[in-house]
Structure 1
C-alpha cells in the first residue's frame, strides 16, 4: 500500500476544520462523475453503500456492512452540477467533490469539513484509501479498499501537526498554575493501548504508577485514581498531577486525552516536549501491535 499522502491540506476556522485532498485521474470528467454519483459504482470504493436522490435537497442514506433496516447515518445533497460538482452532508460533516478537466483526464478535489480536528488523520487516511480504490475502479482493476494498519494514519498525524499539545493558564495569567494538554487519535482500541502502557503491571491506587504512564519530566508519585482501561491519574512532585483518558475515537481506535497540571512558574515547554516524545513512542509501538 502506498503510504505517501496525496496532495492534501488541513485548515481550521471558526471551530471547523477542512481537509482538502486532490488526485489526478487519467479519465474524463463524465466517467469520474458517474463513479461519484452512481450507487452501484460507489459501493466499489466508498466507505459505505449509499442511497441518494441526486437533486439539491435530496436525501442520502449511508448503509454500513452488517447493518439492517434504516441507514446508519443520513445526509442531504447540497449541490449537483453535472459533471463538475457533487456535495452533501453526512451527519454534521460536509463533503464536496469537484471534477475539473485536466488535459485528457480530470483533477478530483475533495473538501471534507468537520468539527473534530483531532480526527483529521483518520479522515485523511480513510479518504486516501477510498480515492485509491476509486482510481483502481476507474482503471478497470479488481480490488476494494485497502486496509491501513496504522502507518498511513500516523503519516497524516505528522503532516497536519496533530502531535502537538497546548499549555493553558489556570486562573488570571497562570497565577493558579498551568495545564498541559494533548488530544490524539490512536490506531488501537483502549484495551490494547492500556496493555502497552502498563506492560503487565496493573496500576493500583496508592501504589507507584507503572513507568509506561510517565514521561520522566519530574518524580512520579502514587496512582490516585484508576478505571482500567479508560483512565488513570497519579501525582507528580511538586504539586502536580497527570491524567490519562482513553475515550471513544473515530473508529480507528481510542482517543487519548492527556493532561498535566502544575503550579505557577512550571516549565510547561519542557513538559510539552517530554509528553510529545512519550506519546510519539506510544503511537509507534501501537502501529507494531
Structure 2
C-alpha cells in the first residue's frame, strides 16, 4: 500500500456538524464494498447486521467492539458489551457509493474511488449533534477504519478501546471548542 501525502488519517470537520475521514485501502472496490454491505464482513471492523442493498431498506447496526481486536483493550465506563442502532439505506451505487441514516437524525456516506490497485474510501458523517459526539464519532470512525485497514492488509490493529480513548483525546485537541 502506498502512502499519499494528501491523505491525513484524522477526520476533518468540513461544516460545523460534518466529519470527513479518508483511507487509501488495497482494492479492488468490490472487496471494500463487501466490508461495507455484508453484515458478517462489516462486523469484523465496525458493526454487524444484515443490510439489503436497496434504497429505503431498514436495517440495524449491532456493535460488539470488544470482539474487534484481541485483546479488546479496556472498555470505558458507560459503554456496554453491545450497542444497537436502527438505520435506513438512502442510496446505493454498487462498488461506488453507499449512504444510510445514522439513527434518527444523522447520515453517513461511503464513497469509493479506484486509484490503481487501491481504493480511496471517503466516509462523510453528517448532522453530528454536538462537539462531545463529534469527538466520539471522530475517534470511532478513525479506530474502526484502522481496524478495516488492518483486516485488508492482514496486520494487527491496536486494541480497540485503548486506541479509541487515545484518539478521542487527539480529536479533543484537534477540533476547536
Bucket of the pairwise TM-score, normalised by the shorter protein: 0.7 to 0.9
Counterpart position of 1:8: 11
CA 51–144 in structure 1, closer or farther in 2 if over 3 Å, else same: farther
| Runs of 4 or more consecutive aligned structure 1 residues displaced over 4 Å after TM superposition | 142-145
**Partners of 2:99 and 2:13 in 1: CA distance:** 19
Q: Residues 35 and 124 (structure 1 numbering): CA distance in 2 closer, same or farther, change over 3 Å?
A: same
Matched, 1:75 2:78: no
Given candidates 137, 140, 145, the residue that maps to 2:151 is 137
Q: Please say if 1:154 is aligned against 2:169.
A: yes
Kept in 1: contact 2:61–2:85 (CA 8 A):
yes
Taking structure 1 as the reference length, the TM-score comes to 0.48
Counterpart position of 1:108? 121
The structural deviation recorded for 1:160 is 1.4
- The higher relative CO (CA closer than 8 Å, separation ≥ 6) is in 2
SS at match of 1:49: coil
Change (3 A) 1:124 1:149: closer
Task: Please say which of residues 76-85 and 140-149 is displaced more in the overlay.
Answer: 140-149
SS across alignment from 2:144: helix
- State the number of aligned residues: 151
8 Å CA contact 2:90, 2:100 repeated in 1: yes
Q: Note the C-alpha offset of 1:63.
A: 2.3
What is aligned with 1:84? 96
User: 1:137: how far off?
Assistant: 1.2
* Residue pair 1:44, 1:144 contacting (<8 A) in 2 also: no
SS at match of 1:32: helix
C-alpha contact (below 8 Å) 1:8/1:21 kept by paired residues? yes
| Mapped partners of 1:150, 1:144: distance in 2 | 11
Pick closer, same or farther for the CA change 1:87–1:157 going to 2, 3 Å: same
Q: Deviation of residue 89 (structure 1)?
A: 0.5
1:224-239 alignment runs, 5 A limit: none
Q: Shift of residue 145 of structure 1?
A: 6.0
Match of 1:210 in 2: none
* Cα deviation, residue 114, structure 1: 2.2
TM-score scaled by length of structure 2:
0.76
